[in-house]
Amino acid sequence: MGLQNGHPLTTSLEEQGDGQSFLKEAFNVILEEVLRKGTNVQEKVCEWQDPAELSALLDLELREGGENQQQLLKRVQDVARYSVKTCHPYFFNQLFSGTDYHSLAGRFLTESLNTSQYTYEVAPVFVLMENEVLSKLRHMVGWPDGDGIFCPGGSMSNMYAMNVARYRAFPQVKVQGMWALPRLAIFTSQESHYSVCKAASFQGIGLENIFTVKVDERGCMIPEDLEDKIELARSQGSVPLLVSATSGTTIQGAFDPLDRIADICARNSLWLHVDAAWGGSVLFSSTHKHLLKGIERADSVAWNPHKMLMAGLQCSVFLMKDTTDLLKRCHCANATYLFQQDKFYDVSLDTGDKSIQCGRKVDCLKLWLMWKAVGSRGLGQRVDKAFENTRYLVGKMKTREGFQLVNEVAPIIKERMVRKGCMMVGYQPQKGRVNFFRMVIISPQITRKDLDFFLDEIERLGNDL
C-alpha cells in the first residue's frame, strides 16, 4: 500500500491500482466542486477569505511525513472550494472564462501523457498535431505557408517577434550581442499590452527605445503619428526595427488599422508584428473578421486561443509568414543529446531548435480536440455570440438609469462584489478617466439573463454610493 501515511511509492505494480483509485475519487470531487457547482449561477463565483485566514484554513505547510488518502481528498476539496470559479457564468474578470469540456478532456489527456513537445521521438502525435493546428491558424491569417510555435503565453510570443525581427535585420546579434548593433527603435501604441515593454527590457533593447504611438478615442493607433514617430526615431539616430500593432487592446478591445500600418511598414522596411492575443479569434467569424483586415500583410502574429475561444490556459501561438527557417536559425543551439542528426526519421520534425525553451509543454491537443468537436463554424458562432452579447449589454446600459460615470466607485463596488462572491469583473483607470469596470464577455454559455443579472447586481452593490 504505497499511499499510506508517510510512505512513498517505492514498489511497482501494487500502487498503480491505489493511485488510480485516488485519481478516480479526485476526479469525482472535481466534477462536483468545480464543474457542477462552479457553473451553477446559484453558487458563488468566489469564496473570499483574507490571505491570513485562507492560509490557515488550507494548512499549506509542507512537512517531513505524508498524509493518507482521506486527508488528501479533503485537500483537493479545499483547493476547489476556495479557488475562484473562472468557469462561472458571472466571472467577467479576465480575458478568459467559461469551460469547454472537449478542451478539458484534451487537457487531462495531455497531463496524463506527460511529454515534451521538442522531438518527434517523444511526442510523435503532438509534433504532427502542432503542425496541423499552426498551419490552419496561419491559413486563417491569410498565409498559405510559414512557420510558428506554441509558447507559454502572449508575452512570450511578443518576445519571439522582437527577437526574430532583430535577428533578420542583424544576424550578428546572436553571436556578438547588442554591442554590434546600432540603437534600435520599436513602435507600439499607448494602448498596447505591457508585454511589449517587458520584452524590450528583457532583450536588452530598453524602454526608452520604445516609441509610443498615439491612439484615437476608440483606442486605435493613429497611422500619421506612427509616421511621425518613425521620423523622430531616425532623427535621433536610431534604426526603426519593428511595429507592434494590436488587434484587440486589453482595455478597450480596439483594433489597430492594420492595412494603413502595413503600408507604413512596407515603405520603411519595418517588421510588422500583430499582437492579436485577444482579438485573433475574431478571424473565425465571417461577420467580424474585417476588424483584422490587413493582418495577412504582417510578418508575425501572436494569438491566444485560451482567451476568446476558451481553449484553457495556456494556449498561445506565435505565427510567422517566413519560409526561410528564420525561427530555427535565430534560436537553434543544436544540442547533440536531443537533436541528433543521425536519427532514423526526418529530423526537421524536431521542433526544439525553434524554441527558446528546452522542455515545452504540449498545448495543441486541447485546441485541436475542441476544434474537431465544433468545427471552424462552431468556433465562429462562439465569437459571434460574444459580439451579440456585448451589443445587448451596451444597449441595456444606455437605456438604464443610474449608469453614469461617478468618481471612484469601482474599487468599492469591487470589494463588495468579491466579499459577497456574487460575481467578478475587473476595473482600471485610463488616461483621463477614473476607475471603470472592464466587462469581458467570452463564453457562449452566457445568456441575456446573465447579463441582466450583471446590471442588476452592479446597481445593488453601488446603490448607496
Site for its own copies in 51-80 (CB under 8 A): 51, 54-55, 58, 60-67, 71-72, 75-76, 79-80
Binders of its own copies among residues 267 to 306 (CB under 8 A) are: 304, 306
Q: How far apart are CA 369 and CA 101, in angstroms?
A: 10
Shortest spacing between CB 224 and its own copies, in angstroms = 27
Q: CB 66 → its own copies: shortest distance, Å?
A: 4
Q: Kindly indicate which of the ranges 4-12, 213-221, 222-230, 397-405 contains the residues binding its own copies, using the contact rule CB under 8 A.
A: 4-12
Measure Cα distances from 183 to 40, 127, 178, 373, 386 in Å: 55, 38, 9, 49, 43
Among 44, 138, 193, 229, binds its own copies (CB under 8 A): 193
- Residue 12 or 399 with smaller CB distance to its own copies: 12
395 binds its own copies (CB under 8 A): no
Judged by CB under 8 A, the stretch of 32-40, 223-231, 285-293, 396-404 that binds its own copies is 32-40
Segment (H or E) for 18 = helix 13-29
Q: Name the H helices within 96-153.
A: 101-113, 124-141
Greatest Cα pair distance in the chain: 74
String of contacts with its own copies for each residue 206-235, x by CB under 8 A: xxxx--------------------------
Is 436 an interacting residue with respect to its own copies (CB under 8 A)?
A: no
Chosen residue from 220, 424, 451, 458 binding its own copies by CB under 8 A? 424
Subset of residues 311 to 350 that bind its own copies, contact rule: CB under 8 A: 312-314, 331, 333-338, 340, 342-346, 349
Report the C-alpha gap between 275 and 171 in whole angstroms.
Answer: 24
Q: Any contact of residue 402 with its own copies (CB under 8 A)?
A: no
Q: Which amino acid appears at position 116 of this protein?
A: S
Binding region for its own copies (CB under 8 A) out of 18-26, 215-223, 286-294, 451-459: 18-26
CB of 257 to its own copies, least distance (A): 23
- Alpha carbon 78 to its chain's center: 27
Candidate ranges 211-219, 267-275, 378-386, 389-397; the one touching its own copies (CB under 8 A):
378-386
Nearest alpha carbon to residue 174 among 213, 142, 203: 203
Report which of 275, 280, 310 is spatially closest to residue 154, judged by C-alpha positions: 275
Cell 446573465 identifies what position?
A: 450
Cα 398 → chain centroid: 31
**Among 1, 267, 375, 391, interactor with its own copies by CB under 8 A:** 375
Contact 104, 43 (CB under 8 A): no
With CB under 8 A as the contact rule, which of the stretches 222-230, 255-263, 293-301, 372-380 interacts with its own copies? 372-380
Least distance from C-beta 231 to its own copies, angstroms?
21
The separation between CA 186 and the C-alpha centre of its own chain, rounded to angstroms, equals 22
CA distance 38 to 46: 9
Task: Give the one residue of 1, 109, 266, 406 binding its own copies; rule: CB under 8 A.
Answer: 109
**Least distance in angstroms from the C-beta of 340 to its own copies:** 6
Residue 360 found at the interface with its own copies (CB under 8 A) = yes
Q: Reduced to 3 states, what is the DSSP secondary structure of residue 427?
A: strand
- The label of the residue with cell 472564462 reads 97
Would you list the DSSP string of 100-113?
A: -HHHHHHHHHHHHH
Q: Is 411 in the site for its own copies (CB under 8 A)?
A: yes
Q: Is 194 in the site for its own copies (CB under 8 A)?
A: yes
Q: Identify which of residues 268 and 447 has a Cβ nearer to its own copies in the complex.
A: 447
68 is written with which cell numbers? 493518507
Q: What's the rounded Cα separation, in Å, for the pair 415 and 283?
A: 36
